[in-house]
Amino acid sequence: MSYKVNILGKTYDLPPRTLAVDDQIAGLVETDRAYQAGELTRREAVEQLHAFVLGLAPGSLPPVEEVDTNELMRVCMDIVNAYDAPARKARAEAKLAETRDILNKPEIQKLLKLAELRKK
């Protein structure tokens, strides 16, 4: 599977989603938790987010002192979303198939026909 993310107007290929990548993603949650709990300063949290992005998309960001912190947070979310997209798509397709199966049942088709006749 391939994963891509747009960072500051340029598209980067992300590495495959391995357990190591999952651990890095889990680290984002831990960084947020630690920051919210006052265990990390804002600078430390930003440095960790910056390292996360550069670890997956080397050369994609300016130095930590120059990075727009809101852009950095958006990029982190974009990376997580890129990795989660295939699973979200598979879940949506499974639900759609389930809905189609229900709608194609004879008893549902009869109800739909009755409802259509009633409209006329």
Q: Report d(CA 104, CA 117) in Å as an integer.
A: 18
Give the pLDDT of residue 115: 83
Using pLDDT thresholds of 50, 70 and 90, give the confidence band for residue 114: confident
**What is the tens place of the pLDDT at every residue in 8-52?**
999 999 999 999 999 999 999 999 999 999 999 999 999 999 999
pTM: 0.79
Per-residue three-class SS string for 21-60: HHHHHHHHHHHHHHHHCCCCCHHHHHHHHHHHHHHHCCCC
The amino acid occupying position 91 is R
DSSP label at residue 9? T
Give the pLDDT of residue 82: 97
Give the pLDDT of residue 75: 98
